[in-house]
Chains A and B, each alone.
Chain A
Amino acid sequence: MKDFSTFEKKQKIMIDLNSVVTPSPGIVPRKTGDEYVLVPVSNNIADMDSVYTLNETGAFIWEKLDGESTLAEIISCMQTEFDVDAETAKNDLLAFVAEMGKFLIITR
């Protein structure tokens, strides 16, 4: 949960499970099979070695960040998709949000 707090701090607003989060235009996704490669837009040659790969779970979450689904709804979808309990799904989602925080925008 510590990382999640950091994300809240960066965004300077509180988010909760009713929040809606979407990818920022500062990152470009490319789907390869069941996974994603995410490449940040950069204005400096020194920043160009940070490419992210998302596994199947990360890819599933990424596709659910559609600007409409709340975090609670995404947790529910994860429970169905991966057959996990709510706490596990919530922890996975919040870890993802914390890790990718600087490339996400809270829209609601």
Chain B
Amino acid sequence: MKSFNLNIADYDIRFISTGPETNLFLKKKYNHFFSCCGNADITIRVHSGVLKPEEKAVRVFHAPYIKETENKKVKVNDEFWTVYKNKNDILIETILPLGKKNRKASLRVNAGANEWDLYISGADKKKDPLEYPLDGLLLYYLTVRSGDIFIHGSGVSINNRGYLFAGVSGKGKTTIAQLWDKAGALVIHDDRLIIRYINGRFVMFNTPVYNNETPRSSPVDKIFLIDHGTANKIVLTGKSEALSLVMANCIQHLWDPSLIESLTDVLGKLTSGTDTCRLFFKPDESVISYILEEWNSGRME
């Protein structure tokens, strides 16, 4: 493909190949996220080659490459991806650890611009502009651009109510999503969500992670910070506690005070207008009836 549009979390993203020798392709998990080539919110120009940070650019943030196997995290490489800043431009340089070796990519973003540039190295003429970790990085900086939230969480919708269960790896996001699925709820996603403020409501969206996923969304009516427990128990939180607990589950690159202000602004708005509590739960269907009973009793408000 030379160009295509995707709609993820209500962001219309257009990808354009800039060279005659470069063709674009995507993995199957994006099949249901293609959209009509209308007005894009952002256009990503995909180039073949390498873009180095400019001399004046400052290295502001970096992440190691960590592999997670059998619930163990192992650091493979100190330098996975790095963020450089030069005036209003941000350059994210990353290795592409999956597939052929020794390949890199650079994403140049500018919060105020409608066109970003993506450079992918390697001899292959076919380029995947959303190859890991470009998918997460691109979506993250789209949320930054729009003042939205990218969070480790599972989300479900039942009886016109949307429940968000936030928790980092190992806290039970997938388990609780499966339990709600068995109970007849629509699972928005079981791992990560984008939350946007649209038409006066916070709405959670899935992002493509698994094959055959379709775009899903639901308003957020209740937020649970989840953890495993020996019994089902809801603990109400104060305002600042709610904000900091939800924030701890957000994907965040807080290398500049303005990024922190933007994220705390939107989280303050989310947690002040949405009931937020901690949920300790037993990994069985009892947690579903417990939540529904607590909701109906009004004790969660």
**Partner-B contacts on A (CB < 8 A):** 25, 28, 30, 32-33, 35-37, 39-46, 48-49, 51-54
Q: Is the CB of B239 within 8 A of A35?
A: yes
Residues of A within 8 A of B240 (CB): 32-33, 35-37, 53-54
Chain B 79-90 near chain A by CB (<8 Å), digits 1 or 0: 000000000000
In the complex the two chains form, what is the Cα distance from A37 to B268 in whole Å? Answer: 10
In the complex the two chains form, what is the Cα distance from A25 to B258 in whole Å? Answer: 11
Q: Given A49-B248, A53-B244, is A41 in contact with B255 using a C-beta cutoff of 8 Å?
A: yes
Q: Is the CB of B244 within 8 A of A37?
A: yes
Q: Is the CB of B257 within 8 A of A28?
A: yes
Chain B 259-280 near chain A by CB (<8 Å), digits 1 or 0: 0110011001000100000000
Q: Is the CB of A28 within 8 A of B260?
A: yes
Contact of A32 among B59, B256, B272 (CB under 8 A): B272
Q: Is the CB of A43 within 8 A of B61?
A: yes
In the complex the two chains form, what is the Cα distance from A33 to B238 in whole Å? Answer: 9
Q: Does B62 contact A (CB under 8 A)?
A: yes
Q: Is the CB of A42 within 8 A of B254?
A: yes
Contact of B252 among A33, A44, A48, A52 (CB under 8 A): A48
CB contact list, B64-84 vs A, under 8 A: 64
Q: Does B21 contact A (CB under 8 A)?
A: no
Residues of A within 8 A of B241 (CB): 53
17 A-B pairs (CB sep. < 8 Å): A28-B257, A30-B243, A32-B240, A33-B239, A35-B239, A37-B244, A37-B264, A39-B247, A40-B254, A41-B260, A42-B61, A44-B62, A45-B61, A45-B62, A46-B64, A48-B252, A51-B247
Within the complex, what minimum Cβ distance (angstroms) separates A54 from chain B? 8
Q: Does B253 contact A (CB under 8 A)?
A: yes
Within the complex, what minimum Cβ distance (angstroms) separates A20 from chain B? 22
* Apart from A39-B247, A45-B253: 12 A-B pairs, beta carbons within 8 A: A30-B243, A30-B268, A32-B240, A37-B243, A37-B244, A41-B260, A42-B254, A45-B64, A51-B247, A52-B244, A53-B240, A54-B240
Residues of A within 8 A of B238 (CB): 33, 35
Residues of A within 8 A of B158 (CB): none
Q: Is the CB of B244 within 8 A of A51?
A: yes
Q: Is the CB of A42 within 8 A of B255?
A: yes
Cβ-closest 5 pairs across A and B: A35-B240, A45-B63, A30-B264, A28-B260, A32-B239
Residues of A within 8 A of B64 (CB): 45-46
Residues of A within 8 A of B261 (CB): 28, 30
Residues of B within 8 A of A42 (CB): 61, 254-255
Q: Is the CB of B243 within 8 A of A43?
A: no
In the complex the two chains form, what is the Cα distance from A33 to B241 in whole Å? Answer: 11
Q: Is the CB of A51 within 8 A of B62?
A: no
Which of B59, B62, B240, B244 is most buried by chain A, counting CB atoms within 10 A of its CB? B240
In the complex the two chains form, what is the Cα distance from A108 to B261 in whole Å? Answer: 28
